[in-house]
Amino acid sequence: MSDPADSTRRVALITLGCARNEVDSEELAARLSAGGWSVGTEADGADVVMVNTCGFVADAKQESIDTLLAAADSGAKVVAAGCLAERYGKELAGSLPEADAVLGFDHYPDIAARLDAIVAGERVESHAPRDRRELLPITPVQRREVAVSLPGHGSAASQEGLPAHLKVMRQRLEKGPVASLKLASGCDRRCAFCAIPSFRGAFVSRTPDEILAEAEWLATTGVRELVLVSENSTSYGKDLGDTRALDRLLPQLAAVAGIVRVRVSYLQPAELRPSLLETIATTPGVAPYFDLSFQHSSEPVLRRMRRFGSTERFLELLGNVRALAPEAGARSNVIVGFPGETKADVAELERFLTEARLDAIGVFGYSDEDGTEAAGFTGKVSTATVRRRTERMAELADMLCAQRAEERVGSEVIVLVDEIGEDGVEGRAAHQAPEIDGTTLLEGDDCGVLRPGDLVRAKVTASEGVDLVAAPVEVVSRAPSSA
């Protein structure tokens, strides 16, 4: 936050949920700064606390509401933004009088003026939810012709009235050598359990020029690893008329000065083309890392989910990955207790996970989501059974991922140093994405010269759960001293 003596109005931006929300918050921060606001992340002394909420599942919704209630205790004006606000709008405003405003994505382009009005005591009409898929044409290539607010797609060059020196509509809220970079927004898939497309909208890619410009800017702020995020990265380019756009973009991003690692997240197995698989597995500077959205492996369950695949097809896909990059990282999420799931389906999922050798597995128990097809399905699995199956699958996942980490003992990994802390030098190998896939602790006499952003070759000496311990062998690339 800025100096308390400064009369500039202050806003605290609190971000919940996924990495996509983090990118959205940093775009909001840039817009607010351009509008004369001082932006930080601490509520103390702020005139407004804006919570960029998550609206994906029940626990995330509750965390968002709890955070808004806590913000009201600060004495600042409270504004709800983000996915929960977009999804429920006026309904949320009616049930949460502690919030001074509930703003949707369409409020983002003139967000500074909205906060000016709120602080001045004016009433800002709460967002009225609508299915954002209906705002864009069904045909992907026609979507570029329609102006729709897309969080995280801000380009300073296209914003009237903003300072000409702003190359990218983004202001970093957190320091560090890693940052997320948005490829696209929205999703055209119709998974029966997922409400995200209804409030995030249809799939829209950012142009390669916009992405490269933002990557170059992030590198100037000390970023060394880019994590490419979207709702569905394997769809990138289909609305640009180029289904291989990501194949071409990845080597360009890896070549950006200062960037030493590019990581792709949110891959759909059914859309992972052989050429993209090969690009991710073999391109220097691109992490051989596969964040694959399997969700289940039993064919009957997948069909009810409106998804594709099977245990054998998924294992074949992972085999193709490892044929090109034997040490490649692979992670996934699975849903347990989907309507109609049988004991045989659970056994099939267990078989898949046991044979898949994944580095990280997220296990979620199914629950109905408003507005989804699955909410109306018959054959619901009881809450108690969902809980038991989830606990059992989570225990299996923990054991399998620990075994996979143990397999890496004795191998060499390339570690990006994230931070130097009281417990030592902590970083991540190529198979470890930020915050979700474990870390690598570097130990040895040479660690004293390391700093955040260094890229280090190290030999794995031990594992603990999904975490690794490794001894540095050599520094592959030094972080700039100013980073």
Q: What are phi and psi of 396, to 5 degrees?
A: -65, -45
- What three-state secondary structure class fits 144? helix
For the chain, what's the residue count? 483
Token readout for 1 is 């936050």
Neighbours of 153 (CB within 10 A): 21
Determine whether the annotation assigns residue 83 to a binding site.
Answer: yes
Neighbours of 477 (CB within 10 A): 14
Angle at CA 229, nearest 5°, toward 226 and 231?
175
Please tell me the distance from the alpha carbon of residue 254 to that of residue 273, in angstroms, as a whole number.
Answer: 20
Largest Cα separation within the chain, whole Å, is 66
Nearest to 362 by CA among 396, 322, 311: 396
Find tokens 């996915």 and name the residue: 83
R_g of the chain computed on alpha carbons: 23
Determine whether the annotation assigns residue 401 to a binding site.
Answer: no
> How far, rounded to the nearest angstrom, does the alpha carbon of residue 150 sit from its chain's CA centroid?
16
Task: Give me the residues paired with residue 231 across strands.
Answer: none
Determine whether the annotation assigns residue 447 to a binding site.
Answer: no
Nearest to 176 by CA among 420, 3, 446: 420
Please tell me the distance from the alpha carbon of residue 335 to that of residue 354, in angstroms, as a whole number.
Answer: 16
Find tokens 């006499």 and name the residue: 445
Contacts of 199 (CB under 8 A, 6+ apart): 55, 83, 86, 87, 129, 132
Determine whether the annotation assigns residue 194 to a binding site.
Answer: yes
Q: Which residues are annotated as a binding site for [4Fe-4S] cluster?
A: 18, 54, 83, 187, 191, 194
Q: Which residues are annotated as a binding site?
A: 18, 54, 83, 187, 191, 194
